């Protein structure tokens, strides 16, 4: 039995909303979303294509991160420079992909605890499928199945 499943709106709606967010977030038009959503601007490691991807912003121990299972995440294996648009500012950062299932599961559990199940489902793009808060053990197998990961973001000058 699974404790969580990835849950997203239809792809066409995501594409439309993403275009609006990429345009609006660096400006005052971004409004309250500027504190919850960031845009990751990076170059594909194989394609050389430039990407601008809006994602929910998360923090742990003062470190900014993205929790995702999206295919583009693999660009950050081994670390990659990017620009992060957050709270109306663009900051040069280094993103590092974390794929260790237990570590990722612990972070998902921490965020579920902090946000509460209802908001966590919306902000993490998941659906909780068990009648209790998922355990780290349950989440670990789901993280592996859904290919969920963390992209840790640190300012480039932080080393």
pTM exceeds 0.85, yes or no:
yes
Confidence (pLDDT) at 16: 75
- Domain holding 12, by residue range, is 4-158
Q: What is the pLDDT of residues 48-83, one digit of tens each?
A: 999 999 999 999 888 999 999 999 999 999 999 999
Q: What is the pLDDT of residues 33-42, one digit of tens each?
A: 777 889 999 9
Q: Give backbone dihedrals phi and psi of 11, rounded to 5 degrees, phi first.
A: -55, -40
User: Domain containing 124 — which CATH number?
Assistant: 2.30.110.10
Comparing CA positions, the residue from 106, 102, 45 lying closest to residue 71 is 45
Edge-first strand listing for the sheet containing 58-60: 50-56, 37-43, 80-86, 89-98, 149-155, 63-68, 58-60
The total number of structural domains in the chain stands at 1
Torsion angle, alpha carbons of 88, 90, 96, 100, to 10: 10
Residue 64: CB atoms within 10 Å: 19
**Rounded-to-integer distance, Cα 151 and Cα 67, Å:** 6
Average pLDDT over residues 85-111: 95
- In 8-114, at which residue ranges do the beta strands (DSSP E only) sit? 37-43, 50-56, 58-60, 63-68, 80-86, 89-98
Residues facing 82 on adjacent strands: 93
Q: Are 142 and 127 in contact (CB under 8 A)?
A: no
Confidence (pLDDT) at 19: 76
The DSSP output letter for 73 is G
């Amino acid at each position: 039995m699974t404790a969580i499943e990835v849950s997203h709106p239809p792809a066409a709606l995501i594409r439309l909303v993403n275009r609006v967010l990429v345009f609006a977030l660096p400006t005052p038009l971004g409004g309250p979303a500027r504190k919850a959503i960031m845009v990751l601007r990076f170059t594909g490691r194989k394609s050389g294509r430039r990407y601008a991807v809006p994602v929910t912003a998360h923090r742990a121990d003062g470190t900014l991160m993205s929790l995702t299972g999206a295919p583009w995440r693999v660009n950050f294996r081994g670390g990659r420079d990017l620009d992060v648009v957050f709270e109306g500012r663009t900051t040069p950062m280094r993103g590092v992909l974390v794929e260790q299932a237990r570590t990722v599961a612990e972070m998902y559990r921490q965020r579920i605890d902090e946000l509460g199940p209802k908001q966590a489902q919306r902000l993490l793009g998941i659906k909780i499928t068990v009648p209790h808060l998922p355990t780290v053990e349950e989440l670990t197998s789901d993280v592996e199945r859904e290919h969920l990961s963390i992209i840790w973001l640190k300012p480039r000058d932080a080393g």
